[in-house]
Amino acid sequence: MNNFSFSYSVTQSLKGLWRNRVMSLASILVLVSCMLVLGTFYALNLNINYNLDDLTLLNEVAAFVDEDCTGEEIEQVRQQIVAMDDLVNDVEYISKEMALEAEKEKFKDYPALFATLQDGANPYRASFMITYKDASLIEDLEYKLGQISIERTVVAEDGTESVTLVYPVDKVTSYTEIAETLENLRDGVRNVLLGFMAILFVVSMFIIVNTIRIAVFTRQKEIAVMRYVGATNGYIITPFVFEGIFMGLIAGILAFLVEWLIYDRAAAIITSQYRIFSVVGFGSFALLLAFSFLLIGLFAGVSGSMISIARYLKEKE
């Protein structure tokens, strides 16, 4: 395509959009709604995942250890856990202080939550966060963690020393059930998401095909004459494809802006009302969203317009 026919195509397509403005606007709005539904489900999915990760419910258990353990003992426990290499992938020790700091960091916007704590008071417990290998062996793991023992030398009041065996892991919390529920929810959301993607695709195509078909229909005679004077199919089709592209891109941009607005509103409400739920910042997926919306718009525009004009360009065999 040379410069002349490019600018021709652009002006023709803009004229076409304007001539058909009611239909064009309607298709843009339908496209926007489809994209919004898609975007919202995507954001929901993202947030569920984020919170699942955040609560480390997926393949971790927390083994809480005896308050009295010394640093040396903790190290012994750690080594014993590491030794269970058929069950355990990774072990991380989280001290009382670390646990408190982590929570403070997580809720740093709400210092009031921690204001009631007395100086030096720390309600959190030291624990090992253990990433396991196989969820079906979780009971084995729990049992073995309970069996971990260390020798502790106790000095009695009278000064005599005695060695006792202690089982420092006193509580194992696994969240398999909650995790399963949340995972199911996430899978459900993902399926709905995929379903919506399919529907979005069909609806957008249908809308664009229809709008461009009207545009083509109103210019049918013009197209016929263009063919008589030797216009190539590419030349004839381009303005219509551009028309579709413009509609798709405008819809993509609008959908992005609206999604942004809605999401920020929802995020503000959720974070102020349900503090435990962390909300993913819009910025972290804005680019992906914008890109997807534009791509969907582009694709719907190109294929929709091609479909609607193809039969007017078919030569007899």
Partner 1 sequence: MIEFKNVTKKYQNGTVALDNVNLKINDGEFVFIVGESGAGKSTLTKLLLREETVTSGQITVTAKTNEKTEYFDLGNLSASKIPYYRRKLGVVFQDFRLFPDKTVYENIAFVLRVVGKSPRTVKRNVQTLLKRVNLADKASCYPDELSGGEQQRVALARALANDSSIIIADEPTGNIDPVMSYDIMNLLIYIQQKFGKTVIVVTHEKELVDYFKQRVVTIKRGKIVDDRVGTMFETSEQEEASGKII
* Closer residue to partner 1, CB minimum distance, 11 or 284: 11
Distance in Å, CB of 59 to partner 1, minimum: 58
What is the rounded distance in angstroms from the CA atom of residue 255 to the CA atom of residue 44?
16
* Closer residue to partner 1, CB minimum distance, 191 or 218: 218
- Note whether 201 binds partner 1 by CB under 8 A: no
Distance in Å, CB of 12 to partner 1, minimum: 11
Could you tell me how far CA 175 lies from the centroid of its own chain?
Answer: 22
> Rounded to 5 degrees, what angle do the CA atoms 188, 193, 195 make?
95
* Closer residue to partner 1, CB minimum distance, 2 or 160: 2
* Closer residue to partner 1, CB minimum distance, 15 or 171: 15
- Note whether 14 binds partner 1 by CB under 8 A: no
Distance in Å, CB of 307 to partner 1, minimum: 18
Distance in Å, CB of 2 to partner 1, minimum: 6
- Note whether 316 binds partner 1 by CB under 8 A: yes
Distance in Å, CB of 16 to partner 1, minimum: 13
- Note whether 8 binds partner 1 by CB under 8 A: yes
Distance in Å, CB of 247 to partner 1, minimum: 22
292 and 197 Cβ atoms separated by less than 8 Å: no
- Note whether 199 binds partner 1 by CB under 8 A: no
Tell which residue, 34, 31, 36, 12, has the closest CA to residue 263. Answer: 36
- Note whether 190 binds partner 1 by CB under 8 A: no
- Note whether 93 binds partner 1 by CB under 8 A: no
**212-241: contacts with partner 1 (CB under 8 A):** 221-222, 224-233, 235
- Per the structure block, which two tokens stand in for 87? 């069950």
* Closer residue to partner 1, CB minimum distance, 8 or 114: 8
* Closer residue to partner 1, CB minimum distance, 221 or 311: 221
What is the rounded distance in angstroms from the CA atom of residue 283 to the CA atom of residue 106?
18
- Note whether 107 binds partner 1 by CB under 8 A: no
* Closer residue to partner 1, CB minimum distance, 96 or 227: 227
How many residues bind partner 1 (CB under 8 A)? The answer is 20
Distance in Å, CB of 13 to partner 1, minimum: 15
What is the rounded distance in angstroms from the CA atom of residue 88 to the CA atom of residue 186?
25
- Per the structure block, which two tokens stand in for 184? 């199911």
- Note whether 311 binds partner 1 by CB under 8 A: no
* Closer residue to partner 1, CB minimum distance, 12 or 204: 12
First to last CA, the chain: 27
Distance in Å, CB of 3 to partner 1, minimum: 9
**Interface contacts to partner 1, rule CB under 8 A:** 2, 4-5, 8, 221-222, 224-233, 235, 315-317
